[in-house]
Amino acid sequence: MGLHNSHHKPCPTHLQSPINIHTRTAKYDPSLKPLKFSYDPKTAKRIVNVGHCFNVEFEDTCDRSVLGEGPLTGYYRLCQFHFHWGSSDKDGSEHNIDGKLYPAELHIVHWNSKKYTSFEEAAQHSDGVAVVGVFLKLGDTNPVLESIIQNLDRVKTKGKTCPFTEFDLTDLLPKDLNYWTYMGSLTTKPYFECVTWIILQEAITVSSEQLEQFRRLQCTSENENPSFILENHRPVQPLDHRVVRSSCP
C-alpha cells in the first residue's frame, strides 16, 4: 500500500538503494552525532567468494565489534564487509555523488543486536541494518586493500573460503568521518528495506591494478566453465520523498 493523494490513486513509496546523492539538497542536521567505530581486529574471521562478490566476514556472536552513535539509536554489530565494482574504472560505485560515479564502493554491514538475534532476522525490520558506504577513488595502491587482495587467489571460485584474521578495519577508513545518511534497502536480492545508510563524504584510494584483481574473481564454481565477476553494482533508484541528511554544514 502506498501514500494516498487527492486522486485517490495509491502511489507506491520506494525506499530502495542505491541513490544519487544531490549534495546541495542534503540537509545539515546538527543533532547527528559523530560515528563511533569500536572494532576488535580479533573478530576478523575469513574471506568468502559468494558468487556476486567476496565478503570479509567477522565473528558476530557477541558485541565485540560494533558501530555506535552517528544517526543510530544504540549500537549495531559488525558482520561483514564487501565491495561493488564495475567492468572498467569508469563506473562501479552504487551510490553517486551529484551524478559522479566512483570506480568502486566499500560496504561495511552491521545489524541491530539489541533488538534482534541475527542479521537474517534484523533484515526484516526497518531499524535492523546499518551499512557504512565508502567510495574508492582511483589513485595510489592502497596498502590496506592490498592485504585483502593478496588473498583473493585463494577464493577464486564461487563458494571458496580462506581464513582472514587480525584485521583492523578502521585502517581502511578515511580520516574525515563526516557522512550523509538516509533510509534505504539492501542493494542485493532480496532488497529488504531495512538499511540505515551512512555514506562517508571522503573517499579512500584504490589503484587500477587493484581493481583488475577484483574482476579476476569468478562467479562460477571450480568445476564449471569460468565466468568472471566483471561488475556487481545496482543502478540508482528513485529517491521519492526521502531526505538525505548531512553530518556537516
Ligand X SMILES: NS(=O)(=O)/N=C1/NCCO1
Residue 107 touching ligand X (CB under 6 A): yes
Residue 131 touching ligand X (CB under 6 A): yes
Number of H helices, E strands in the chain: 3, 15
Q: Which does 186 bind (CB under 5 to 8 A by kind): ligand X, Zn ion, none?
A: ligand X
Residue 109 touching ligand X (CB under 6 A): yes
Cross-strand bridge partners of residue 66: 38, 77
**Closest to ligand X by CB, 109 or 236:** 109
Determine the Cα–Cα distance for residues 105 and 112; give it in Å rounded to an integer.
23
Determine the Cα–Cα distance for residues 176 and 206; give it in Å rounded to an integer.
17
**Closest to ligand X by CB, 90 or 189:** 189
What are the two backbone dihedrals, phi and then psi, of residue 108, each rounded to the nearest 5 degrees?
-105, 115
The DSSP symbol for 218 reads B
Give catalytic status of residue 14 as yes or no.
no
Residue 151 touching ligand X (CB under 6 A): no
156-195 footprint of ligand X as x/- string (CB under 6 A): ------------------------------xxx-------
What are the two backbone dihedrals, phi and then psi, of residue 202, each rounded to the nearest 5 degrees?
-105, 135
Instruction: Give the position of cell 507506491.
Output: 12
Rg of the chain (C-alpha set): 18
Q: Which does 110 bind (CB under 5 to 8 A by kind): ligand X, Zn ion, none?
A: none
207-236 footprint of ligand X as x/- string (CB under 6 A): ------------------------------
What are the two backbone dihedrals, phi and then psi, of residue 35, each rounded to the nearest 5 degrees?
-70, 145
How many residues sit close enough to ligand X to count as binding (CB under 6 A)? 6
Cβ at position 56, least distance to ligand X in Å: 12
What are the two backbone dihedrals, phi and then psi, of residue 107, each rounded to the nearest 5 degrees?
-120, 120
Q: Which of 52, 82, 84, 241 is catalytic?
A: 52
Q: Which residues are part of the catalytic machinery?
A: 52
Binding residues (CB under 6 A) for ligand X: these are 107, 109, 131, 186-188
